[in-house]
Chain A
Amino acid sequence: MSKQGVEVSKKMELKVHSLGRVEGDLDVRVAVEDGVVVDAWTEATMFRGFEIILKGKDPQAGLIVTPRICGICGGSHLTKAVYALDTAWHTEVPPNATLIRNVAQAAETIQSIPRWFYALFAIGLTHQNYASSDLYDEVVRRWAPFEGEHYAIGVTVSSKPVEIYAIFGGQWPHSSFMVPGGVVSAPTLSDITRSISILEHYRETWLEKILLGCSVERWLENKTWSDVLNWLDERAAHRNSDLGLFIRYSMDIGLDKYGSGPGRYLAAGSFPHPQKYRFPTIDGRNAALISRSGVYDGKTFHDFDQERIREDHTHSFFRGSGSLHPFVGVTDPIDPVEGQKEGKYTFAKAPRYEVPGMGAVSLEAGPLARQVIAGRPGAEEWQDYDPLFLNIIQEIGPSVMVRVLARLHEAAKYYLRMRDWLKQINLNEKFYIKPRELPEGRGFGATEAARGALMDWLQIKDGKIDNYQVITPTAWNIGPRDGQGQRGPIETAMIGVPVRNPEDPVELAHIAQSYDSCLVCTVHAYDAKSHRELAKYEVVKM
C-alpha cells in the first residue's frame, strides 16, 4: 500500500461488522395475558444460504464452508461434515484420527460451557428483580459482568480448551483439519503432554475449584436428584461452589418451575468408538457411538434414525409448503413480505421427527437432551450410561434450571473422556488413510455441538455436490410451527410462563438463554388482548 493509497479517517460510520454479523437475529414474540404467556412465535430474521453456495462445488467444500456457518461451534460443523464425506466415500478412519476428532469436538464443547454460563446466562441472574433473594448479593459478587470475581475467571479459562483444538487442528476457530480418512495433523508426544496440561489447568483453576467444589469423580457419583440434594448438604464447599449456588438460587427464584419445553428429546450422539467406527456407514453409526444417539418421547426411548427426520417449511420463508427429508431438501427462499401473506414468519425451517406411534413431532436438542438419552438402559460397557438427568426430569420435571445444570454437568464428563482419549493415541500408528474419491454417493454425518444435535446430509453426483442440507441445534430448538400447527420447542417452552413484570420480562430471557441458540436473540412481549408491545428484551446483553 503506497502512502497515497492510505486514507486516515478519525470518524467513520461503519455499517459492516464482520464479527458476529453472520449469526443474525432471532426475535421471540410472546403474547402475555394476565401475567402469563399464552402464545409464542420464534422468528429468525436472517437467511443463511450456504446450501445454495455448496451446490455444484467439490464434495469437500463442506469442510471449508460449514465451519464458517457459525463463529461459536465451527469445530462441530467440521466434525459432522467430515463424517458425511466418510460415509459417502466409504473411507477407513484410523483409530488415532477418531481419537483426535473426539478430543477436538469435546474441547470445543468444554470451552463453551464456562463462556456461555458466565458471559451469557449468569448475567441475567444478577437482574435486580431478584434483589430480595438472600443469595442475591453473593450472586452479584461472583457473576456480575466484568466485575464479578468468577466472571473473569470463567471467561478467561474459556479460552484454554480450544488451545487443544488448535494444537491438533492448526487453528481454532474455522479449522478444516479433519478430512475424509482421518486428520491432517501429525501430533508429537509434546502435543499430547501440552494438551493434558491444558486440561489440568481447566480442572484445577475452574472445574473443581470454582464450579464443583469437589473432585470431578465425587460430583459424578450423583445418580439421582436426591443424590444432588444430599451432595449440597454434604459439605460447605459443595453448597458454596458455583454449581451449589446456582442450584440453591434457582430454587429460590423459581428457575426450577418454568421453561420445561416439549418434554421430548433428541440426541444425534457423538464420539465414535475408535475401533468400532473404522469404516463409517450411515447404518452403523448408532452402534459405534460412545455418547449415544436416541429419541425420548416423554415416556419411551427410541433408536435414532435419520430417515425419520423431515424439515417442514409451511411457516418458513421458503417456496410452498411441505415436509421433506433432507436428502431431497430444497432451499428456495422467498421474499419475507410475500411469505407473510401466506402466514409464514421465519427463515428457520421446522425440523420434525416421526416418532413411532406419535407422528411427526418437535424435539428439544441440547445438553439436557443428551443427558436424558444417556439415561437409556442397555448401554454397552464402553458407552456412556448416566441416569442422573432422566431421574431429575422424572422427579422434578425439566426447567430452565435443569437445562443449565445438564450443560454444567457435561464439563466434568467430557474432561474425563478427553483425558482418556489423549492417553490412547498411539504416535507410531497412522492418522490418515487416503480414500478413493467416489464420483457418486450419499453421506450423513452428525455430532453434538455444545448446544445440541448437528447434522449434514450430502448427495454427490458426477463428482460434485448435488445437494447439501444442514440441520443445526438452533433449528431444532427455534423452529416455527409446522403444517399441523404444532409449535417449535422454544415456542412451547414459553407457554404458561408467569411474567412478573411485563415491561421487563427477564423470565423469558432465561428461557431463551437456556437453549443458547446461535442467533442473537431479542424477546418481544405483547399484550394478548390489545396487541400493545409491552417490552423488548435483548437476551444476550452483557
Chain B
Amino acid sequence: MTAIIGCGNLIRSDDGAGPMLIRKLWELGVPEGVRLADGGTAGMDVIFQIGDAKELILVDACTSGAEPGTIFEVPGEEVEAPPLKEVNLHNIRWDNAIAMGRWLLKERFPKKVTVFLIEAENLEHGFGLSPAVEAAVERLARDLIQRLEEQQCRLS
C-alpha cells in the first residue's frame, strides 16, 4: 500500500497545496491500494495515518526562494530530522514526523519515503491557491497517478 499525505493549512492560501493535492487526486481517481490522507496541521497524527504503508509520499508547501509553483522531489532520508528531542508536539513538521514515525512504527515503517514540496507564492490568511501553485498541484497530481499506475503495472 502507498500512503499519500498532504500537509498544510487550507486557510493560509498556498499552504493549502498539500490538502488541495489530496482532493485533486481523489477527483482524478487513484489506483487501488493507494491511501489518501489530508494531514492538515495535525502534527503527530500524520504519523498514525502512515498505517501499514510500504511507501509513503508526503506533500507540503515550502518557501525556498525558488519560482512559485516549482516542485521539489526529495528522498525521505535526506530530510528526516532527528534528533527528536528538539521537537514538541505542537510543532511537529513532516521531517520530524518521518523520524518520529520510524521510532513509533519500527519495522512497520515504510521502506520508501518521498517528500514533494511545492514552492508557495502567498501564505496570507485566506482560501485559494495562486495560479502557479494551482498549476503545480494539477501537474503533480497527474504525474503521481501516472507513476502509481506504472508501478502497479510493474508489480502485477
B: number of interface residues (CB 8 Å): 59
Contact across chains for B72 and A145 when beta carbons are under 8 A apart: no
The reply on A376 being an interface residue by CB < 8 A is no
Whether the pair A542, B84 counts as a contact (CB closer than 8 A) is yes
Given contacts A13-B64, A18-B18, contact A74 B42 (CB under 8 A): yes
* Chain B CB within 8 A of A53 CB: yes
Q: How many angstroms between the C-alpha atoms of A119 and B90 in the bound complex?
A: 10
Whether A50 contacts B8 in the complex (CB less than 8 A), given A19-B92, A72-B90, A74-B42, comes out as no
Partner among A9, A48, A173 whose Cβ is within 8 Å of the Cβ of B40? A173
- Is there an interface contact between A14 and B64, defined as CB atoms closer than 8 Å? yes
Closest to A6 in B: B73
Interface size of A by Cβ–Cβ distance < 8 Å? Answer: 56
A64-B10 contact given A50-B125, A172-B45, A174-B38, CB 8 Å threshold: yes
A474 CB to nearest chain B CB (Å): 11
CB-CB under 8 A from B127, the residues of chain A are: 53
Partner of A6, one of B71, B78, B88: B71
Is A15 an interface residue when CB atoms closer than 8 A count as contact? yes
Are A53 and B41 closer than 8 Å at their CB atoms? no
The docked-state distance in angstroms from the alpha carbon of A171 to that of B46 is 12
Contact A18–B73 (Cβ < 8 Å) = no
Are the CB atoms of A18 and B10 closer together than 8 Å? Answer: no
How distant is B27 from chain A, measured CB to nearest CB, in Å? 16
Q: Which of B48, B90, B127 has the most CB of A within 10 A?
A: B90
Q: What's the minimum C-beta distance from A69 to chain B, rounded to whole angstroms? A: 8
Q: Is the interface of A mostly helix, strand, loop or mixed?
A: loop
Q: Is A284 an interface residue (CB 8 A)?
A: no
Residues A519 and B90 in contact, CB atoms below 8 Å apart: yes
Judge whether B45 and A173 touch: CB under 8 Å: yes
Proximity bits, A150-175, B CB within 8 Å = 1, else 0:
00100110110010000000011110
- Knowing A9-B72, A18-B8, say if A542 contacts B139 (CB, 8 Å): no
Q: How many A-B residue pairs have CB under 8 A?
A: 170
Across the interface, A14 reaches (CB within 8 A) one of B10, B86, B117, B126, namely B117
The verdict on A22 contacting chain B, using a C-beta distance below 8 Å, is yes
B33-57 vs A, Cβ < 8 Å mask (1 yes, 0 no)? 0000111111111111000000000
The interface residues of chain A lying within 8 Å CB-to-CB of B144 are 1
Asked if A198 lies at the interface with its beta carbon under 8 angstroms from chain B, I say no
Q: Give the CA-CA distance A12 to B73 in the complex, in Å.
A: 11
Q: Residues of B contacting A12 with CB < 8 Å?
A: 62, 64, 72, 74, 117
Known: A72-B90, A538-B88, A541-B86. A18 touches B61 (CB 8 A): yes
Distance A413 CA – B7 CA, assembled complex (angstroms)? 33
The proximity string for B residues 85-106 relative to A, scoring 1 for CB distances below 8 Å and 0 otherwise, is 1111111111001000001100
Partner of A2, one of B12, B120, B143: B143
User: In this assembly, does A20 line the interface, its C-beta being within 8 Å of a C-beta of chain B?
Assistant: yes
Name the residue of chain B whose CB is nearest to the CB of A73.
B42
> Are A159 and B45 interface neighbours, CB within 8 A?
yes
Task: Answer whether residue A113 sits at the interface, using C-beta atoms and an 8 A cutoff.
Answer: no
B2: interface (CB < 8 Å) = no
With beta carbons under 8 angstroms apart, the residue of B42, B47, B63, B139 that contacts A16 is: B63
* A8 lies within 8 A of B45 (CB): no
Closest-CB distance, A302 to chain B (whole angstroms): 33
Asked, given contacts A20-B41, A50-B125, A68-B41, whether A542 binds B12 with beta carbons under 8 Å apart, the answer is no
A92 at the interface (CB under 8 A from B): no
Min CB–CB distance B145 → chain A (angstroms): 11
Asked if residues A22 and B89 are in contact (CB atoms below 8 Å), the reply is: no
Q: How far is the CB of A155 from chain B (nearest CB, A)?
A: 7
Contact A50 B11 (CB under 8 A): yes
Report A500-524 residues with CB < 8 Å from chain B CB: 518-520
**Looking at chain B's contact residues, is the secondary structure mostly helix, strand, loop, or mixed?**
mixed
Q: Which of A70, A115, A172 has the most CB of B within 10 A?
A: A172
- Cα-based distance from A15 to B9 in the complex (angstroms): 15
Q: Which of chain A's residues has its CB closest to B83's CB?
A: A146
Q: Report how far A50 CA is from B125 CA in the complex, Å.
A: 7
Specify which of A1, A14, A119 is in contact with B89 (CB 8 Å cutoff): A119
Does A10 sit within 8 A of B, measured CB to CB?
yes
A120 CB–B CB distance under 8 Å = yes
Pairwise interchain contact B78-A10, C-beta atoms closer than 8 A: yes
Distance of A290 Cα from B88 Cα, bound (Å): 34
Instruction: Decide yes or no whether A17 CB sits under 8 A from chain B.
Output: yes
Q: Does A307 contact B (CB under 8 A)?
A: no
Q: How far is the CA of A343 from the CA of B22 in the complex (A)?
A: 45
Q: Which residue from B61, B70, B88, B94 sits with its C-beta under 8 Å from A540?
A: B88
Contact of A19 among B46, B85, B139 (CB under 8 A): B46
- Residues in B neighbouring A49, C-beta threshold 8 A: 125
Bound CA span A158–B100, Å: 14
**Shortest Cβ distance from A119 into B: residue:** B89
Alpha-carbon distance between A171 and B23 when the two chains are bound, in angstroms: 13
Instruction: Give Cα distance in the complex from A520 to B84, angstroms.
Output: 16
Return A171 CB to nearest CB of chain B, in Å. 6
Report how far A10 CA is from B72 CA in the complex, Å.
10
Residues of B within 8 A of A116 (CB): 89
The smallest C-beta distance from B76 to any residue of chain A, in angstroms, reads 12
Say which residue of A1, A53, A520 sits within 8 Å of B142 (CB atoms): A1
Q: How far is the CA of A152 from the CA of B136 in the complex (A)?
A: 39
The reply to whether A542 and B38 form a contact with Cβ atoms under 8 Å apart is no
Residues on B with C-beta less than 8 A from A538 are 88
Mask, A26-50, CB within 8 Å of B = 1, is 0000000000000000000000111
- Given A16-B60, A68-B9, A174-B19, 9 more A-B residue pairs with CB atoms under 8 Å apart are A2-B143, A6-B73, A19-B43, A64-B10, A71-B41, A146-B85, A520-B88, A541-B85, A542-B89
A-B contact pairs, 14 of them (CB 8 A): A9-B64, A9-B72, A10-B78, A12-B62, A16-B61, A18-B60, A19-B43, A22-B41, A72-B90, A74-B40, A145-B84, A171-B38, A542-B86, A542-B89
